[in-house]
Structure 1
Amino acid sequence: TVDGLLSVLRLATSFQMERVRNIAMHQLRDLAIDPIRKIAIWEEFHLDPDLLLPAFATLCQRSEPLTLPMTMSLGIRNFTKVAASRD
């Protein structure tokens, strides 16, 4: 589950266990997680941003505009990336 992998990721980060951290990151990447949440997780743990391209692509291809709570969750830097790509 996402929550279980986040627990593993937190512990692996705390104890500087890079191999475990990478395994958790790749498993999270492959799960069907809301793109906003996935981006927030990647930001929190400073994970490989290249693995976020599908999440950003999903947001850029949405027909509906992003809501205020979505933009707040993304943060200004990521919101700017999405907005620029959608224009």
Structure 2
Amino acid sequence: MYRAMDCLAPWKGVFYFLTMIFMLAWLVKNVFIAVLTETFAEIRVQFQQMWSPRIATDTDFSKIFQFDGTSWKLVPVHERTSRGLA
């Protein structure tokens, strides 16, 4: 820093460092505003998804879990052949 100030005229060093400080402050301010904007946009989307109206269909209530020996599967009720005692 001091070498740059000593190798040129004094007013050029002052101009350089003031310009650098203002440009870096401007850059940091813009990054901060961009992060805030993106965060609020993401929160708005999540809020809309959380409070959007949900419509229940018949297919939502007509599925059950069935174990086929290796894994559990979600199958529609009308495809299940054995109903059990309940």
Normalising by structure 1, what TM-score?
A: 0.21
Structure holding more strand per residue: 2
Larger radius of gyration: 2
Structure holding more helix per residue: 1
Normalising by structure 2, what TM-score?
A: 0.21
Relative CO higher for 1 or 2, CA cutoff 8 Å, sep ≥ 6?
A: 1
